[in-house]
Every structure is written in structure tokens, then in C-alpha cells.
Amino acid sequence: MESIKLDISKAVQFLNPGAVEALAPQVAAAQEALENGTCPGNDFLGWLHLPSSITEAFLNEVQAVADTLREKCEVVVVAGIGGSYLGARAVIEALGNSFAWLENDRKNPTILFAGNNIGEDYLYELTEYLKDKKFGVINISKSGTTTETALAFRLLKKQCETQRGKAEAKDVIVAVTDATKGAARTAATQEGYKTFVIPDNIGGRFSVLTPVGLLPIAVAGFDIKKLVEGAQVMEQETANDVPFAQNIAARYAAVRQALYAQAGKKIEIIVNYQPKLHFMSEWWKQLYGESEGKDLKGIFPAACDFTTDLHSMGQWIQEGERSIFETVISIEDPNRKLLFPHDDENLDGLNFLEGKRIDEVNKMAELGTLLAHVDGGVPNIRVSVPTINEYYLGQMIYFFEKACGISGLIQEVNPFNQPGVEAYKKNMFALLNKPGYEAESKAIRERL
Ligand code: PA5
């Protein structure tokens, strides 16, 4: 089997010669600190050897619960936010047929997502849609207290119980949460839901290979064994004993750091040329944004879907402030084949493309954009992925996680906490008059 590849040749030309290699000692120190558990955030390193620690028996257990939901539900709503939903959504959307949700005769349950916003219209429309559906819920929250998720779960639980009866609802509601703490655990224990534990030492954004991601992905009908297998291979290929020159996670972390610290590139745009990868980019954005953006430091992670966004963001990227670099996820071979047809009248003047794969046009757009952006002063990193399937998504997930851990440490931040996320919550609770927030409530109103 092949592996994903990293090409930094179009990025190093913006750096002093040897700048990436010069970071090898710092990268090695970060790798060692991760391995020995001597880095900041060392109580959150459970993801590091997670792939190789997953047993077949555990995957069978996840699959068995997924099979029950698949059998009993036409729709499964995944309630979760941030790291408790983005990974699952990224994989499900990357692997799924873009139009399957429009078909009446589906072989897989439709997976919907809630608890990741507080949009009243969204929740109203969701509950309306679910009215005549046999639906189940996967309630995912490590803390078990996240407002967005808890709010959606209360609505969904009530509706599920009303529509199916409490006894049947119990069999189609699953909680993925802390082993002992939080409201999600309390509800699960009281109601007798099937549960999976999110290990204490794995933070949300590093949890896609726990049941947080694995259960929804299996319910959607995808092969979680292949996903984990891909991650296991990448765990080996990015291990500390793999030399810097061949270690793609080490090199990606180093080139990002060199671009940031030496070339003033403060923004990284993750780019895909496949609409199915939109949520992979969203997952990546959270992984890097929440891990690195602290202590007044951090590369700002942005995302663009090309060629779509070449018609909206292309101008800025080509000629705006030169503070950006791009990381392109390039899919070598799409799963489907579609040839461009002949047209006798050639009214659109496109007969020169006759007989070519649509992907060839996409690839030439990708190469043309690469050269144009490099000419315009945008360093380009390329992650080549043989095709979109479970195995390579597993590789990508672990590759980006490992590089993120290294990268945060060489930026000298704790990549595994997110203290800044609490600020908005505190203000929101004060404004909502949550018991215990009386003093903040008065003070905050005076500022408005
Ligand atoms: O990465 C993280 O830790 C966060 O994005 C969390 O996943 C997110 O805030 C949801 O938290 P919880 O799972 O506790 O509901």
C-alpha cells in the first residue's frame, strides 16, 4: 500500500537555504518530549499511541453498537461540537455520496449533526424533519456540560422518547462521554443508555479515533478497521526513529514554523480541490487553531475549497497582503470516472477537452493555481493522497495530529489545552443569569 506524501519544494524557496533542516534539533526535542511525556499538557497525550493500542475486540464492540443503530434507525443525529463532532463529520462527508441524502431508498441511515450551534431555525427545522422519522441519537460530550450539545440533546431526547416510547428510545440513544463525570454520564446512567468512554488523556480535537469519531463513522456504514489501519501505518511512519528527512510529520511541523517565524507568514490556508473534503479542512482548522493559538502566538488556520473559492478568495490570495502560505490536500485519483462529452456544435468552445477525465481539468487547475500562487509570493506545501478512502483518511488524521503536537511544542505553547474558549461561555452564562453568575451578570450588563 502507498502512503500520503509531503512536498515542501515550493515552500522552501521562500526560506533561507537549510532553514527547514536547521529546525531538526528543535523538532527532535519536541518529538522526545511527546514520547517521554515531559511536555506541557502531558496529561493529554493519549492520542500519541492511540492507533496502535486499538484492539480488534474494541472495534467489534463499537461496530456492534453501530449495527444496532443502523438496524433500528433511518436517521441518526450526532450531537456534539468542536472536537466532539468535526472528525466524524469530516470522515463521513469525505466518504459519502454527496447526493445520498436526497434518495428515498437508502441502505445507510442518514447522519445529521446537531449540538454544534444554537440556531433556533436550525433546531426547529431539525425537529420538524425528525417528526415522522425513526431516529436515534449519539450524544457526544467529554465534559458532558457543553451548552450547545446539552441544549440539542434535551430536545432530541424528549422527541425520541415521545415518538418511540421511553423503552425503545433507550436502545437508540448512545452516550460518548467521560467515565464518571458530567451531565451526559449522569443521564446515561439514569436512563440506562449504552455508553462509550472518552479517555481522560485525549482532548476533543485529538479524539476522532476514539468512539467520538469511530461510532458515527461506523453507523454511517464506513469501515472503521481500515480507518484505524491507516492511522496505525502513519503512527509508524512518523515515529521518532524515522529520520527527519523521511518523517513527514516532522518536516511539515518544521516548514510551517520556518515560514511563520522566519518569513512572516502568519496565515496558513488549507486547500482542497474536492468538495467532499470541506469538513476535513474544518477539522484541521480546529486542530491547529485550538492547539496553537495562545499566548499571543500561532499561525491563523484558514480554509478554502478550490476551485470554488478561486472565484471568491482567489484575488486576495494572488495579490493581497503577503502573509499567507497554502497547504494543499491533493487527491491523486478520485474514486469515480467521468469523461467530458463531445458536442457537435461546440458552442462553449470546449471540444478540446473531449474525452478527458473531469479530474484532468481539475488537476490542471490545481497545477496552474500552484504556479500562479507561488509566482505571487505564496509558499505552497502539498500533501498528496492516493485516493479518498478510509485507509488514507486514517493516515491523514494521524499525520496532522502528530505534526500538530510537534508544531505546538516548537512554538512553545501547550498544544493540548484551550483556556481561551472559556471567555465567551462565562459572559454568556452571566447574560443568561445562570445561577452562580450573579456578580458577573450585573457587571457585564453595565458594559453593554
Ligand atoms: O477540542 C476540544 O477540546 C474542544 O473543541 C471540545 O471538543 C469541544 O469544546 C466540546 O467539548 P465537550 O466534548 O466537552 O462537549
- Residue 271 is predicted with a pLDDT of 98
Q: Long-range contacts of range 367-373, CB-CB < 8 Å, 24 or more positions apart?
A: 369/306, 369/307, 369/310, 369/314, 370/10, 370/328, 372/318, 373/317, 373/318, 373/326
Residue 302: its pLDDT value, please? Answer: 98
Establish how many alpha carbons lie within 13 A of residue 314's alpha carbon, considering only the half-sphere containing its beta carbon. Answer: 14
Shortest-distance Cα residue to atom 8 of ligand 1: 82
Q: Which residues are catalytic?
A: 290, 311, 425
pLDDT computed for residue 124 by the predictor: 98
Q: Return the pLDDT at 372.
A: 98
- Between β-strands 5-7 and 380-385, what pairing exists: parallel, antiparallel or unpaired? antiparallel
Residue to mutate (ligand 1; options 81, 421, 428; most atoms within 8 A of CB):
81
Nearest C-alpha neighbor of 161 from the set 175, 146, 177, 173 = 173
Atom of ligand 1 at shortest distance to CA of 418?
3
Q: Residue by residue, what is the 3-state secondary structure of 346-415?
A: CCCCCHHHCCCEHHHHHHHHHHHHHHHHHHCCCCEEEEEECCCCHHHHHHHHHHHHHHHHHHHHHCCCCC
Q: Provide the pLDDT for residue 101.
A: 83
Which residue CA neighbors atom 9 of ligand 1 most closely?
Answer: 82
Q: Return d(Cα 39, Cα 30) in angstroms, integer.
A: 8
**pLDDT of the chain, 448 residues: tens digit per residue:** 899 999 999 999 999 999 999 999 999 999 999 999 999 999 999 999 999 999 999 999 999 999 999 999 999 999 999 999 999 999 999 999 999 888 877 789 999 999 999 999 999 999 999 999 999 999 999 998 899 999 999 999 999 999 999 999 999 999 999 999 999 999 999 999 999 999 999 999 999 999 999 999 999 999 999 999 999 999 999 999 999 999 999 999 999 999 999 999 999 999 999 999 999 999 999 999 999 999 999 999 999 999 999 999 999 999 999 999 999 999 999 999 999 999 999 999 999 999 999 999 999 999 999 999 999 999 999 999 999 999 999 999 999 999 999 999 999 999 999 999 989 999 999 999 999 999 899 889 889 8
d(Cα 280, Cα 92) in Å, to the nearest integer? 10
| CA–CA distance, 278 with 24 (Å, rounded to integer) | 32
This prediction has a pTM of: 0.97
Q: What is the predicted pLDDT for the residue at 132?
A: 93
Q: Residue 75 phi/psi, 5° resolution?
A: -135, 140
Distance 421 CA to ligand 1 centre (A): 9
Q: Which of 142, 209, 288 to mutate to test the pocket of ligand 1 (most atoms within 8 A of CB)?
A: 142
Supply φ then ψ for residue 320, to 5 degrees: -80, -170
The per-residue pLDDT for 106 is 77
Q: What is the DSSP string of 230-296?
A: HHHHHHHHTSTTS-TTT-HHHHHHHHHHHHHHTT---EEEEEESSGGGHHHHHHHHHHHHHHH--TT
Q: How far is the CA of 76 from the centre of ligand 1 (A)?
A: 20
**Nine cell digits for residue 102:** 436526497
Ligand 1: atom nearest CA of 421 is 9
Shortest-distance Cα residue to atom 3 of ligand 1: 204
Around ligand 1, the residues with Cβ closer than 6 Å are 81-84, 141-143, 146, 149, 203-205, 290, 418
Q: Of the residues 43, 84, 141, 178, which should be mutated to test ligand 1's pocket, given the most ligand atoms within 8 Å of the CB?
A: 84
Ligand 1 center–CA 264 separation, angstroms? 31
Please tell me the distance from the alpha carbon of residue 58 to that of residue 435, in angstroms, as a whole number: 41
Q: Give the separation between CA 448 and CA 431, rounded to whole angstroms.
A: 10
| DSSP 8-state class, residue 342 | P
Q: How far apart are CA 295 and CA 381, in angstroms?
A: 26
What pLDDT, on the 0 to 100 scale, is given for residue 107? 87
Residues 6+ apart with CB under 8 A from 377: 14, 322
Separation CA 31–CA 259 (nearest Å): 20
Ligand 1 atom nearest 203 alpha carbon: 3
| Residue 384 one-letter amino acid | S
What is the whole-number distance in angstroms between the Cα of residue 391 and the centre of ligand 1? Answer: 25
CA angle 374, 308, 377 (to 5 degrees): 15
SS3 content of the chain, % helix, strand, coil (to 5): 55, 15, 35
Give the distance from CA 172 to its chain's centroid: 25
∠ CA 110-94-172, nearest 5°, is 30
